[in-house]
Structure 1
Amino acid sequence: MAQVHQYKVTMTCEGCSGAVQRVLEKHKDRIENFDISLKDQQVKVKTNLSAEDVLELIKKTGKAVEYVSSS
């Protein structure tokens, strides 16, 4: 069953959020959906992947990221 993992990601512009979007879209076969809030510096990802796997994907953007919670 898919879970929603929430992360705090340091994004300063639309280019930053676009980088996160591109890396998550590359794995759309394993990610149901995601929501990126540049204003709140927050990324929510609904997936069967573990929270750690998603964290590693977001880290590929070079942005500072920290895991917040899962539900």
Structure 2
Amino acid sequence: MPSNHYQFNVKMSCSGCSNAINRVLTKLEPEVSKIDISLEKQTVDVITTLPYETIYEKINKTGKEIVSGKTL
């Protein structure tokens, strides 16, 4: 199954925010092969075989505001 690369702009104010997102996305392994979270850039990059909506919902469940998202 081909991998998809998604990038989300998420409002994160501290490492606790990014850790919460990392925790929920890590639970999706092995379908998620790479997670790159930048607190400085406010971005979450995910490489996965899962659909966009699944990743969006997982990030959304952390309570963090998703400003935008796109497929790269």
Give the TM-score, by structure 2 length.
0.91
AA partner of residue 41 (structure 1): Q
What residue number does 2:22 align with? 21
CA offset digits 1:23-50 (Å, max 9, x no partner): 1111112101110000011000000111
Comparing 61-70 with 48-57, greater Cα deviation is found at 61-70
* Structure 2 segments unaligned to the other structure (5+ residues): none
What residue number does 2:34 align with? 33
**Alpha-carbon RMSD:** 1.0
Contact 1:55 1:67 in 2 (8 A): no
What residue number does 1:69 align with? 70
Q: Which runs of 4+ in 1 moved over 4 A?
A: none
Give the TM-score, by structure 1 length.
0.92
SS at match of 2:30: coil
Aligned residue pairs, count: 71
The percentage of counterpart residues that share the same residue type is: 39
SS at match of 1:49: coil
CA–CA distance in structure 1, aligned partners of residues 60 and 24 of structure 2: 10
* Structure 1 segments unaligned to the other structure (5+ residues): none
CA–CA distance in structure 2, aligned partners of residues 59 and 68 of structure 1: 12
